[in-house]
C-alpha cells in the first residue's frame, strides 16, 4: 500500500479539557494525537464510502452524500 501524503494541515478548536483527556488516552496506546486523528478520519471516510479507502483514491471528484441525504462535493 502506498504511503499517504501528509502535507495538508487540519486545524480544529476543541475544549482544552477534552484535548488533555484525548492526549492522555493517545499516550496510553502509544500513539500520537495526529496518528489517532488520521485513523479516525480514515475510518469515517470508509464508513461513509462503504469500502476501504486507499491513498490513491480520488474522492474529490466524486459526490459524497451529506448528512441530510443531499449531495455535496468533497473538497
The answer to whether residue 1 sits within a structural domain is no
Residue 71 has pLDDT above 80, yes or no: no
The answer to whether residue 5 sits within a structural domain is no
Cell of 72: 455535496
Domain that includes residue 40, residue range: 16-73
Separation between Cα atoms, residue 67 and residue 65, nearest integer Å: 7
Q: What is the pLDDT of residue 17?
A: 98
pTM: predicted TM-score of the whole model, two decimal places: 0.68
Q: What is the pLDDT of residue 3?
A: 67
Q: What is the pLDDT of residue 5?
A: 77
**Cα–chain center distance at 49:** 13
Write the DSSP string, 3-69.
PPP----------HHHHHHHHHHHHHTT--HHHHHHHHHHHHHHHHHTS---TT---TTSEEE-TTS
The answer to whether residue 35 sits within a structural domain is yes
The answer to whether residue 3 sits within a structural domain is no
Cell of 73: 462535493
pLDDT digits (tens, 9 = 90+) for 41-69: 999 999 999 999 887 776 554 545 556 55
Amino acid at each position: 500500500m502506498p504511503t499517504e501524503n501528509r502535507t495538508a494541515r487540519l486545524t480544529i478548536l476543541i475544549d482544552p479539557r477534552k484535548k488533555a483527556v484525548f492526549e492522555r488516552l493517545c499516550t496510553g496506546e502509544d500513539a500520537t494525537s495526529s496518528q489517532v486523528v488520521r485513523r479516525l478520519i480514515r475510518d469515517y471516510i470508509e464508513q461513509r464510502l462503504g469500502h476501504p479507502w486507499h491513498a490513491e483514491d480520488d474522492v474529490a471528484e466524486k459526490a459524497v452524500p451529506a448528512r441530510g441525504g443531499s449531495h455535496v462535493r468533497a473538497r
